[in-house]
Amino acid sequence: MKFNYNFKNIKESYLFAEVANRTETYRKANPDKKILKLGIGDVTLPLAPSVIEALHGAVDDMSRQQTFKGYGPYEGYDFLRESIREYYRSNGVELAMEEIFVSDGAKSDLGNILDIFAKENTVLVPDPVYPVYVDTNEMAGRKVIYADATDENGFLPAPDYKIDADVIYICSPNNPTGAAYTKAQLKEWVDYANAKGAVILYDAAYECFITDENLARSVFQIDGAETCAIEFCSFSKTAGFTGTRCGYTIVPKCLEHEGFNANKMWLRRQATKFNGVPYIVQKGAAAVFSERGQSEIRKNLAYYKRNAELIANSMDTLGIRYTGGKNSPYIWLKCPDGFKSWEFFDYLLSGAQVVGTPGAGFGRNGEGFFRLTAFGSEETTREAVFRIENLLKK
């Protein structure tokens, strides 16, 4: 038996695991210090009351033989897929029901979708990048090339027709940089993908933070995307589902190539390697789309946006350059005083007991940058900002 030797190409430790390890080591050595975490993009507000109600109702359904649910449809229950379709419609995007697949989160499907693509594809990812895009492809032995996202292009690389890419990852609003593509910029990528016969894997996990009308909330708002894009979205950030696990993946019916149909292949993949998302969770997710759910969710998003503003304002005060903070829960800052990313991580942890995420963990171009997130409690965020200002003003 042979293990998958491609695992040799990926680092043993996953970025956030390394952040957790260093934090834990510091905590053990300094048990009296209170550590404030603005590192991983994890939410802190409880689930909305309408979601909680729906979850309780679904648990009750599971307690009675008449309403009990066994295996559900691989692609998710219609009651949830209908709501997702309505949501897209409100953003000007018409989807067929068969194009909507309920998932246990954007991360899972961003990795799993690779099952429908051959090993012999060149994968283009931005640098810096959410590590999952790179690691999942390296595990499968695919060639990964990078599009530089830098200060110069506002961390929003444009397509380069001299480069032949087959599978292109775009995350907008971006993790980790917080930068977001306008519809016009995204159209350039869609045109490139159609011209090259490439596919765009579009990570829209942070679309709910967009307020600017010029920015794309979905790749399918762009003409031509239906023949070249798959979109991944999540309730994690929209509705605080990081620990409740639900998302959705849109695979257009007209994404076809050499006799293969992406939509049919994905259904086949899911029917074979997945058994759907818990009924209880899908009921909770559907409540997010109710009128009351939407109003509750907007309050939560406003709360995180205020946190982002607090951090952004503090960076302004300190004269530190950053992207994000608007239309995004992330603040991507240039480390002050020539600090490298992990140096700044240790400096912030030991000096202010604030945990962020080192930009270098997201790629070569991330070196010298640092990511803070708006997902902490307001209290944590205020205290962290206060400590950071004290430390860096010195």
What are the backbone angles phi and psi of residue 91, rounded to the nearest 5°? -100, 15
Largest CA distance in the chain: 67
Report whether 45 contacts 161 (CB < 8 A): no
Closest CB to its own copies among residues 62, 318: 62
Closest CB to its own copies among residues 41, 126: 41
In the complex, what is the shortest distance from the CB of residue 347 to its own copies, in angstroms, rounded to a whole number? 26
Report whether 358 contacts 333 (CB < 8 A): no
Nearest-angstrom CA–CA distance, 294 and 83: 12
Closest CB to its own copies among residues 28, 64: 64
Nearest-angstrom CA–CA distance, 178 and 192: 23
Residue 168 is encoded by which pair of tokens? 């292109």
| β strands within 292-344, DSSP E | 322-324, 330-334
Residue 75 is encoded by which pair of tokens? 């692609």
In the complex, what is the shortest distance from the CB of residue 151 to its own copies, in angstroms, rounded to a whole number? 29
In the complex, what is the shortest distance from the CB of residue 268 to its own copies, in angstroms, rounded to a whole number? 7
Contacts 24+ apart (CB under 8 A), 22-29: 22/345, 22/346, 22/349, 23/349, 23/355, 26/349, 26/350
Closest CB to its own copies among residues 39, 366: 39
In the complex, what is the shortest distance from the CB of residue 328 to its own copies, in angstroms, rounded to a whole number? 19
In the complex, what is the shortest distance from the CB of residue 321 to its own copies, in angstroms, rounded to a whole number? 29
Nearest-angstrom CA–CA distance, 232 and 251: 9
CA 116 vs. chain centroid, Å, equals 21
Nearest-angstrom CA–CA distance, 270 and 75: 7
In the complex, what is the shortest distance from the CB of residue 209 to its own copies, in angstroms, rounded to a whole number? 17
Nearest-angstrom CA–CA distance, 377 and 302: 12
Closest CB to its own copies among residues 71, 161: 71
Closest CB to its own copies among residues 73, 336: 73
In the complex, what is the shortest distance from the CB of residue 61 to its own copies, in angstroms, rounded to a whole number? 9
CA 98 vs. chain centroid, Å, equals 23
Closest CB to its own copies among residues 178, 284: 284
